[in-house]
Structure 1
Amino acid sequence: MRPVLVYASRYCGWCTRAIALLEAKGVTPDIVLVDTDRAQRRIMEERSGRRTVPQVFIGERHIGGFDDLYALDAAGRLDEALEAEQ
């Protein structure tokens, strides 16, 4: 399974939902809290081109926020993205 990284904040309902969806798929994502670390927030913004959380990465692929992650799952492509070889 590919590594998954979620940039999140502590009080973000969308972050909680994204993490729960990934955990339901058997994934334990690495979580970086950007509300407590400004340097990590800058890194997230540079990597994703976005300022909102969550921002989800599967391997080096930027998936986007919760809506993007959910849409990938609804389209039946999330499992494939998680299992793909690096």
Structure 2
Amino acid sequence: MPAASARIEIYTTPWCPYCLAAKRLLTAKGVLFEETDVSGDPALRRAMTERAGGRTSVPQIFIDGAHVGGSDDIHALDDAGKLDLMLGRTG
């Protein structure tokens, strides 16, 4: 199945198990995503926090520019059958 047409951005740190879980889900879906490691750059972390409405934890995930939330949020969307639609996947 081809990659989704949605643009997926995920802010992470290397040691975060929730980041790994979210990336594992996206990889299992066969979609490409842009990963930004915020662990060593306070300016990137501030930009992420601003985009995420004040949320400071990682991961923070955006689909087509819309804030989805973190790992629990993206897994809940998947469990509810809504993630594939957001990713631009059909059938």
TM-score (norm 2): 0.89
Q: Which residue of 1 aligns with 2:32?
A: 28
Structure 1 residue runs of 5 or longer lacking an equivalent are: none
Q: Secondary structure at the match of 1:83?
A: coil
Q: Secondary structure at the match of 2:61?
A: strand
Residue by residue over 1:20-77, the C-alpha shift from the partner in whole angstroms, topping out at 9 and shown as x without a partner, is 1001111121100111111110100000020000000001110000000000000000
Aligned length: 84
Question: Which residue identity does 1:23 align to in structure 2?
Answer: T
Q: Which residue of 2 aligns with 1:81?
A: 86
1:59 aligns with one of 50, 57, 64: 64
- Say which one has the larger Rg: 2
1:7 aligns with one of 8, 11, 16: 11
Q: Secondary structure at the match of 2:6?
A: coil
TM-score (norm 1): 0.94
- How high is the sequence identity, in percent, across the aligned residues? 45
* Bigger share in helix: 1
Distance between the aligned counterparts of 2:72 and 2:7, measured in 1? 20
Q: Which residue of 1 aligns with 2:22?
A: 18
Distance between the aligned counterparts of 2:88 and 2:41, measured in 1? 30
